[in-house]
Amino acid sequence: MRLLPILSLFTVLICGPVLAAGGKTLRMAYDADPASLDPHEQLSGATLQLSHLVFDPLVRFRKDLSLEPRLATRWEQIDERTTRFHLRDDVRFHSGRLMTAEDVAWTFNRLKQSPDFKALFEPFEAAKVIDEQTIDLVTKGPYPLVLNLATYIFPMDREFYTGTDARGAPKDAVVKHGSSFASANMSGTGPFIVTGREQGIRLELKRFDGYWDKDSPGNVDEIVLTPIKEPATRVAALLAGDVDFIGPVPPTDLNRVQSAACCDLVAIPSNRVLTFELNQKRVAAFKDPRVRRAMSYVINREASPRRSCAGKPPPPANLSPPGYAGHDPALQPPYDLAKAKALMKEAGYEDGFSATMIAPNNRYVGDARIAEAVAVMLAKINIKVDLQTLPKAQYWQRFDARDADIMMIGWQSDTQDSANFYEFLAMTPDPKTGYGQYNAGNYSNPEVDRLTLQTQTMTDPDARAEVLKKIERILYEDAALLPLQWQHLAWAARKNVKIEPVVNVIDMPYLGDLVIE
């Protein structure tokens, strides 16, 4: 008699996996797992990747950066400050509730409270619910990037996150340090539901039966996400068949993975630009545009170290990557040693000078190697570089203190728009407004400041693109910074896992649409 409950327990244990075995399971290894399940706690790639699994945005980017309707089916401009979104009426949360405009408004208000997200949503005044399926986003002034920011609005289940948890803390609190209800519980509208989580070890998800998007070709029923920190192990795990999908693939292994019979490699240039900033506060010579241009001329960007030709991105002359409104294909990366020497002579620095350089060694792909290569190139115009590379944990302290002459930074635009580059990297630093927060070179050009501010309220896309391109040209002529490369994104998967259609330049694989054969 007593055995019976135990036996039935066994049946459950044995039958459980068998029942689930009808669908496909994806085992994916990536470099870091999200620190929290709260989509508004941290503005980071890991958080947004998770958001795309468990939630859905109003709109999302396609591969070519055009916008694809998701929870919003269509939208229109009502007046110069108001955009109206029409929502799907058949979307259910994992809790079973129907999603309405109230949930969107609630989510919007929570974003405005989040320390990480509120700066992005600063141009917005309010979200106004018109009816169950209609919502207006109202901006403080004319604002061109309403749709770009709508990609950050992943409606959360208002009722699920309302009230207080077991400890009496409000469930909707955004807690940056320490635990909270939202950091451990989720209810969204997305294709997957989190079923198990051991932070740093694994995250398990299963497909949501009531998912609204019946047209999605995705056939993955279960996902097991495993962080594997060490790139060589990540690659080995794929090649050994222990996992089906990995990202990122380290540059040293691109060729190895590409030639492996078991697997497919997908590599594309990302929209993160890697650049050096020249600290004008510490080095008088850097105030002279001729010196900065000479430094740009002497860097042979084609020669920057690379072991694979897979998906080789064009070397940048712009800060804006291709596909962005401000990207000007007419600008070509300069490389002219004679001209560089002539410019140095003209500026009176024929004999060169010494400069310190810092770069991280575990933050960006190939960061330390690229810095070494540039240091060698700069020696050709007698700039003797004293290079120090540091782990990222220590690097940002040095960067924030601006205590080197040449500093590396990688930047991607959170708004997927060119102006973001100028606001953070090129505008005159101003602690009050926050502009130029990462302009460690202290480059200052009133024209760039004025034009960048102007683009913030321009709603005519063509006229705005002209101004953005103009800024890009000024920065190029001035050699305000030294853009070096667009960073790589590389993923690899077993042959039967068709990752190519679901990966994208913003590095958020849409696993809901993934097909496993």
Partner 1 sequence: MKALAAGAGFFARRLFQALLVMLAILVIAFAVRTSLGDPLREIMGQAVPESERAELRHELGLDAPWPLQLVRYLGRAATGDLGTSIIYKRPTVEVVLAKFPASFELVLGASLIVLLLSVPGGVYAAVRPGTLGARLILGLSVLGISVPVFVTGILLITVFSVWLGWLPAFGRGETVDLGVWQTGLLTLDGLEHLLLPALTLSSIMLPLFIRLVRGAMLDELDHDYVRTARAKGAAPLRVWLVHALRNALLPLVAVGGLQVGTLIAYTLLTETVFQWPGMGFLFLEAVTRADIPLITTYLVLVGLLFVITNTIVDLVSLMLDPRISLEATP
> Contacts for 364-367 with beta carbons within 8 Å, 24 or more apart?
364/272, 364/274, 364/408, 364/410, 364/487, 365/248, 365/250, 365/251, 365/487, 365/488, 366/251, 366/305, 367/274, 367/408, 367/410
* 200 interacts with partner 1 by CB under 8 A: yes
Closest distance to partner 1 from the beta carbon of 325 (Å): 19
Dihedral of alpha carbons 313, 318, 324, 327, sign? negative
* 233 interacts with partner 1 by CB under 8 A: yes
* 163 interacts with partner 1 by CB under 8 A: no
3-state SS of 357-397 is EEEECCCCCCHHHHHHHHHHHHHHHCEEEEEEEECHHHHHH
Q: Cα separation of 495 and 497, whole Å? A: 6
Question: What are the backbone dihedrals phi and psi of residue 301, each rounded to the nearest 5 degrees, phi first?
Answer: -70, -25
For residue 305, is the peptide bond before it cis, meaning its omega torsion is within 30 degrees of 0?
no
Q: Cα separation of 396 and 247, whole Å? A: 25
Taking the least distance from each CB to partner 1, the nearer of 116 and 125 is: 116
How many CA atoms does the CB half-sphere of 65 hold within 13 Å?
16
Among 24, 36, 251, 344, binds partner 1 (CB under 8 A): 36
How many CA atoms does the CB half-sphere of 163 hold within 13 Å?
7
* 173 interacts with partner 1 by CB under 8 A: no
Of 390-409, binders to partner 1 (CB under 8 A) are 391-394, 396-397, 400
* 35 interacts with partner 1 by CB under 8 A: yes
Tokens of 458: 């321009």
Among 62, 74, 140, 229, binds partner 1 (CB under 8 A): 229
* 17 interacts with partner 1 by CB under 8 A: no
* 237 interacts with partner 1 by CB under 8 A: yes
Among 255, 437, 454, 456, binds partner 1 (CB under 8 A): 437
* 113 interacts with partner 1 by CB under 8 A: no
Contacts of 188 (CB under 8 A, 6+ apart): 39, 51, 54, 55, 56, 93, 94, 154, 155, 156, 157
* 169 interacts with partner 1 by CB under 8 A: no
* 16 interacts with partner 1 by CB under 8 A: no
* 424 interacts with partner 1 by CB under 8 A: yes
Question: What are the backbone dihedrals phi and psi of residue 99, each rounded to the nearest 5 degrees, phi first?
Answer: -80, 135
User: Using CB under 8 A as the criterion, what x/- string covers residues 115-134 for binding partner 1?
Assistant: xxx-xx--------------
* 20 interacts with partner 1 by CB under 8 A: no
Closest distance to partner 1 from the beta carbon of 131 (Å): 34
Taking the least distance from each CB to partner 1, the nearer of 414 and 513 is: 414
Among 213, 414, 478, 513, binds partner 1 (CB under 8 A): 414
* 362 interacts with partner 1 by CB under 8 A: yes
Footprint on this chain of partner 1 (rule: CB under 8 A): 29, 35-36, 42-44, 115-117, 119-120, 176-179, 183, 198-201, 226-230, 232-233, 236-237, 239-242, 362, 391-394, 396-397, 400, 411, 414, 420, 424, 431, 434, 437-438
